[in-house]
Amino acid sequence: MTEKIGVLGKKAPQRTGVERVVNAPLPTVYGKFQAIGYMDHDRGDEQVALVYGEIGTDDVLIRLHSECLTGDAFGSQHCECGDQLDAALRAVVSEGAGVVVYLRGHEGRGIGLLAKLRAMALQAEGLDTVEANLALGLPVDARDYGVAARIMDDLGVKSVRLMSNNPRKREALVSHGIRVAEQVPLLIPPCENNITYLRTKRERLDHHLPHLDAVVSSS
């Protein structure tokens, strides 16, 4: 990659941190959001926060949604991601205000799309989602939520009601200085194709999924 050269032949300073780039109205089937686009100069990812209504600063209903092409765009039943995104967008509209941060670079819990597909192929052979990542020599969860915290800072949000079943998201936000007033469950009814995946998330990744009790006891 060619380095940027400034005046007098000097190297242009490299930007760091998260920069707000654009704010555009985004009418959706759920309601009219403001799509606020950010550039994460540290990682090179483009990020977007969908803001609905007047969010204020305290106890803001939010969802940190990890990018999932297969679930969000293609309707994959291997996971519950698409349904969770749908539920989160509906929830903030019902609330009257809230934020859904769509986190690019989080595909496959941070391992990338092709690696995720390789892991899915291994799961089809009998490995669970944790075993599959490890078999590929990859981390079980490589996601970083620092950019989400910086976006909250930019939006003026001090405390949140976090829509998530994953305690590590809560811990990550708290570690970056965002107070989590409440963790709001985002429970999607399981189906035949994702029940094993959801059980693994509960048993090995500490996700809070109490709605699986009835399914587990009847299987």
Annotated binding site for Zn(2+): 68, 79, 81
Q: Which long-range contacts (CB under 8 A, 24 or more apart) does 158-161 make?
A: 158/57, 158/58, 159/57, 159/58, 159/59, 159/60, 160/59, 160/60, 160/61, 160/62, 161/59, 161/60, 161/61, 161/62
Residue numbers belonging to the annotated binding site: 63-68, 79, 81, 84, 107-109, 129, 164, 169
Distance, CA of 70 to CA of 30 (rounded, Å): 21
Backbone angles phi, psi at 162, to 5 degrees: -95, 115
Q: Which residues contact 114 (CB under 8 A, 6 or more apart)?
A: none
How far apart, in whole angstroms, are the C-alpha atoms of residue 94 and residue 88?
10
Active-site entry in 72, 83, 118, 143: 143
DSSP string, 61-117: EEEEEEP-HHHHTT--SSSSHHHHHHHHHHHHHHHT-EEEEEETT-HHHHT-HHHHH
Give the active site residue among 59, 141, 144, 153: 141
Our answer to whether residue 141 is catalytic in this structure is yes
Pick out the residues of the known binding site for GTP: 63-67, 84, 107-109, 129, 164, 169
Assess whether 15 carries a catalytic annotation: no
Q: State the catalytic residues.
A: 141, 143
